[in-house]
Structure 1
Amino acid sequence: MPENIIAPAPAPVDDRVRKPAVRPPRPGFALAVILTCQLMVVLDATVVSIALPGIQRTLHFSAAGLSWVQDVYLLVFGGLLLLGGRAGDLFGRRRLLVVGIAGFTLASLLGGFATSPGLLVAARAAQGVGAAVAAPNTLALIVSTYREPTARARAIGLFSSMSAGGAAVGMILGGLLTSYFSWRSVMFINVPFGLAIVLLAPRLIREPERHPSRLDLPGAVAATLGTGTLVYAFIHAATAGWGAGSTLGWFAAAAVLLTGFVLWEAYGAVQPLLPLHLLRHRVRGGGYLTMLLLPAAMYGMFFFITQYLQNVLGYSPLRTGFAFLPLAVLIFVGARTAPRLVPRFGARPFLIGGPILLLTGLLLLTRVDATTAYASGILPSMVLFGTGAGFTIAPLSITILSAVRPEESGAASGTLQTMQQAGGALGTAVLLTVFTSATRHPAGRGPDALFAHGVSVGMGVAAVFIAVALLLVVTVVRPSGRPRAARGVVVGSGGSGSR
């Protein structure tokens, strides 16, 4: 089942007619379309954050209801990613990318015109569906298109920079659009880019060979409901308390659903949504768990530092967005540079050094209080955090996808992105619970001091996430050596490719 591009014979006319369908004329343009798609779906996880106050004023959201504008996107996106990856293997990855972005674009347009809370939340959920259909196929298209190890590593590095930096870029873009236009512009901005992708993707991206498969709908339902219920349980615990019967009930329901999902995948599904051997591989399984923990800390940091800058330091939305510019630039630069250095030095320096920088940045944020200045108290942490994230995500992605068979690249990349989105949603929910508990008893503190105390405690828990991720890298993933090619697939350092 080779996917290498073969030059057509010169004589037959039919070969000349079929050539554009076999090979995209400009692979660089094809990669640009794929990366734009990925940037769109990642941006929307955070681009609404700074717009939330305007959304609340316009549509009269309650305080609790407002959180769903962001959470419902992450939940639906993360919950359906595995199904999107498997559907791409079955129906065609390029086709699913186009269909997903078309749905995402239409939902963005409807969300921009929303006149009630229910309509906006429904539009955000529909965006999540479109993103879940498109996103796993972006990475799978890169894996199936770039067969040469160095070229693929560079392409994955660009993809990782979009994935890692997109959330921070969303903060900047949200600040710009909200300040100069209105909150509706953060929805409308997706429309022209989405239309461009829908028009250009069929012309520039080669459709890989499809693989006979079956959609595991029971597994998809169990995974989506289980993940969503678990996130909701943490959010509910923030208001009702950990000991409340309703909180325990939600956690129990999540445990039942997720256990049912694992049992179904292991024993019931004819063609599992998540092939469990992808997780049983030591390096890959440890890498997936590490990928769950990194966004848990990252999204939590974005969520709380954004509010700290506006609520405590009094920053405007525009100024808040630009406060994240150093972090976004460093993530992008690191994600672009790391794949070029991994073949020379191996993944180990990055997968150990990067989390150490992340951990240091978060520990510095545990010292914030009501008098902390941005330049001396926040900026150094952002520099450390951005550098650490940029030098960690790309090598970890390459390691996880080491020696994945082409017929399972959709499932493998879908699982990777599921870990990212589920980690972001779970991390934010956990840290919100911690923040609420820390600010429940004022102890003589003023509003700003109390809020800063909650942020400090939350960043301490985020640091624990990174510490566990670092421990996993050292003891389970244990990257060593340098990448090598195996069966035509890039092998990240530390990945043997064995099953």
Structure 2
Amino acid sequence: MGSYPQRWRTLALLGIAQFMLILDVTVVAISLPLMGADLGLDRQTVTWVVSAYTLTFGGLMLLGGRIADLIGPRTTVLAGLAVFTIASLVTGAAQDGVMVLTGRVGQGLGAAMLSPAALSVVVRLFEGDERNKALGIWSALGGGGAAVGVLVGGLLAAGPGWPWVFYVNVPIGVIVFAGLIRLLPSLPPVQTGQRRSVDVFGALLVTAATGSVIYAMIGAGEVGWVAPRTLLTFAAGLLLYLLFGWRQRVATAPLMDLRLLSRRPVVAGTFVIAIGTALMVAVFFLGSFYLQNHSGLGPLVTGLLFLPVAIATMIGAQLGGRIIGTSGGRGLAIVGLVVAAAGLVIPAFWPSTVGVVVGISVGSAGIGTLFVVASATALGQVQPHEAGIASGIVSTFHEFGASVGAAVVSSIAAASLATQADSGYVTAFTVTAIAAIIGAVVAGSLIPGRKPTAAEAIPDRTGA
């Protein structure tokens, strides 16, 4: 099968869908106070409005990738988009906390199906340099979606109200669904040599493990990182991950091939996506709280001040997609993380509205390049039958990184969040800058320093 003639139009629609999924990680950030007051939500429920989505999204990502491999990415993409769109309608219409959380879990379920299946389509439709360009566009939309989410959240919260943070997904989802029905090719299910079934028990184990770790990190901001509850929950998560590994070795139709995690490019790519997303969410969290709680700005102004952050993120991803073919992933990751550190250190030394906006904008340009590096490194040499599960791994660590970033900086900046002092923000920005430098060192040691040879290249991304 030759190159699919509608591949770029298909990429555009899939990119819009992915944009919605990533946007919904951060779009609620500015609207949470209004939502909580309107529905009478307590602090824990408000926190779970964010966590329920990222936990379900990340925890079920491997299952979504496996389903895409078994039944084909077209069916999985369309089903995931339908679930996400309907759940968005439910969340916007919520009248209490239970309905909000139910809708957010539904959004996460749809996203977990859609995201890895869509990325699998991109991997299979494009080859060579075109693939790097396609991943650059994909990364720009995905990375920019998180930044634009804060902007959109501010505009909608200050305008028609917080329900429209979710309602806006409905018409977009319907239009994209109609377009994909016409354009999305029927790529065949991959042949793995395994039984055509899904390891539901394995999916539950990895979801519970991820949930335990995220729960521990979120709770650590209140009870402390070495509190018995935190340590026990971390231990439970580790035990569940070990059980998941055992399950994958003995299951007749395992959820994933653990040998993927022994490959250096896959490990490197998952690390880069995790550190990149952690830094990105830390930027949005600290920036949003500083501008609203410390500087006293409203949601509309705060959202508008995130416009340069969104633009910088997308520019970084686009530039990364253009030069990674010649520079290689290692050099680009190091430069991106150093730029991120340089930006994040600005508000640490200049804690002010201008300093925060300038610093997080510069930092976001560097962070944007990391999404290209992560996708190209982790997926650049996988075989077609591994595309769905490999993309699921990358996307899982994307959500896991988001949870880590939010949990860590919220704990570090806790004093400032409660008292409006600068010290907590300064410390948090300093720690994120140091983390970026450490990440540059680790990425430089993990990412292979050469391009794949012709013998390692994948001859056919379409699966034909």
TM-score (norm 2): 0.93
Distance 2:211 2:330 in 1: 34
Deviations 1:330-373 (A, max 9, x none): 2112212222222233333311111100111222232354xx2x
Contact 2:281–2:402, Cα closer than 8 Å, also in 1: yes
Report matched runs for 1:129-208 at 5 Å.
129-146=109-126, 148-208=127-187
- What is residue 113 of structure 1 aligned with on the other side? 93
Tell me how far 1:381 sits from its aligned partner: 1.1
Is the deviation greater in 304-313 or in 357-366? 357-366
1:60 to 22, 37, 40: 40
- Percent same amino acid at aligned positions? 33
1:47 to 27, 31, 36: 27
Contact 1:173–1:321, Cα closer than 8 Å, also in 2: yes
- Tell me which amino acid in the other structure corresponds to 2:307: L
Where structure 1 has 5 or more consecutive residues not aligned to the other structure, the ranges are 6-22, 491-499
Contact 1:112–1:184, Cα closer than 8 Å, also in 2: yes
Report matched runs for 1:91-102 at 5 Å.
91-102=71-82
- Tell me which amino acid in the other structure corresponds to 1:4: G
Distance 2:247 2:236 in 1: 16
2:239 to 256, 275, 286: 256
- Tell me which amino acid in the other structure corresponds to 1:486: A
> Is residue 424 of structure 1 aligned with residue 402 of structure 2?
yes
- What is residue 2 of structure 2 aligned with on the other side? 4
Tell me how far 1:439 sits from its aligned partner: 5.3
Is the deviation greater in 328-337 or in 236-245? 236-245
Distance 1:245 1:383 in 2: 38
Tell me how far 1:237 sits from its aligned partner: 2.1
- What is residue 488 of structure 1 aligned with on the other side? 459
Tell me how far 1:28 sits from its aligned partner: 2.6
Tell me how far 1:481 sits from its aligned partner: 4.6
TM-score (norm 1): 0.87
Distance 2:130 2:76 in 1: 24
- Tell me which amino acid in the other structure corresponds to 1:426: V
- Tell me which amino acid in the other structure corresponds to 1:422: F
2:443 to 460, 467, 473: 473
* Superposition RMSD in Å: 2.0
Contact 2:337–2:436, Cα closer than 8 Å, also in 1: yes
The secondary structure found in structure 2 opposite 1:366 is helix
> Is residue 314 of structure 1 aligned with residue 312 of structure 2?
no
The alpha-carbon distance between structure 1 residues 247 and 392, as it changes in their structure 2 partners (threshold 3 A), is: closer
1:287 to 248, 269, 274: 269
Is the deviation greater in 278-287 or in 177-186? 278-287
Which one has the largest radius of gyration? 1
Report matched runs for 1:20-99 at 5 Å.
26-99=6-79
Distance 1:366 1:252 in 2: 34
- Tell me which amino acid in the other structure corresponds to 1:286: A
Distance 2:228 2:316 in 1: 46
Contact 1:343–1:482, Cα closer than 8 Å, also in 2: no
The alpha-carbon distance between structure 1 residues 465 and 207, as it changes in their structure 2 partners (threshold 3 A), is: farther
- What is residue 241 of structure 1 aligned with on the other side? 224
> Is residue 406 of structure 1 aligned with residue 384 of structure 2?
yes
> Is residue 228 of structure 1 aligned with residue 228 of structure 2?
no
The secondary structure found in structure 2 opposite 1:45 is helix
The secondary structure found in structure 1 opposite 2:255 is coil
Tell me how far 1:430 sits from its aligned partner: 2.3
Contact 2:280–2:364, Cα closer than 8 Å, also in 1: no
Distance 1:341 1:253 in 2: 43
- What is residue 394 of structure 1 aligned with on the other side? 372
Tell me how far 1:53 sits from its aligned partner: 1.1
> Is residue 274 of structure 1 aligned with residue 240 of structure 2?
no
Distance 2:364 2:376 in 1: 19
Contact 2:59–2:206, Cα closer than 8 Å, also in 1: yes
Contact 2:416–2:425, Cα closer than 8 Å, also in 1: no
Distance 2:124 2:370 in 1: 23
- Tell me which amino acid in the other structure corresponds to 1:135: S
Distance 2:226 2:324 in 1: 47
Where structure 2 has 5 or more consecutive residues not aligned to the other structure, the ranges are none
Tell me how far 1:478 sits from its aligned partner: 4.1
The alpha-carbon distance between structure 1 residues 99 and 448, as it changes in their structure 2 partners (threshold 3 A), is: same
Contact 2:197–2:253, Cα closer than 8 Å, also in 1: yes
The secondary structure found in structure 1 opposite 2:432 is helix
Distance 1:360 1:489 in 2: 41
- Tell me which amino acid in the other structure corresponds to 1:126: G
- Tell me which amino acid in the other structure corresponds to 1:219: G
- What is residue 8 of structure 1 aligned with on the other side? none
1:217 to 181, 193, 200: 200
- What is residue 355 of structure 1 aligned with on the other side? 337
The secondary structure found in structure 2 opposite 1:479 is coil
Q: How many residues align?
A: 456
Contact 1:74–1:128, Cα closer than 8 Å, also in 2: yes
Deviations 1:198-257 (A, max 9, x none): 222121011211125431212211111111111111222222234443333222211211
The alpha-carbon distance between structure 1 residues 459 and 489, as it changes in their structure 2 partners (threshold 3 A), is: farther
Distance 1:281 1:489 in 2: 21
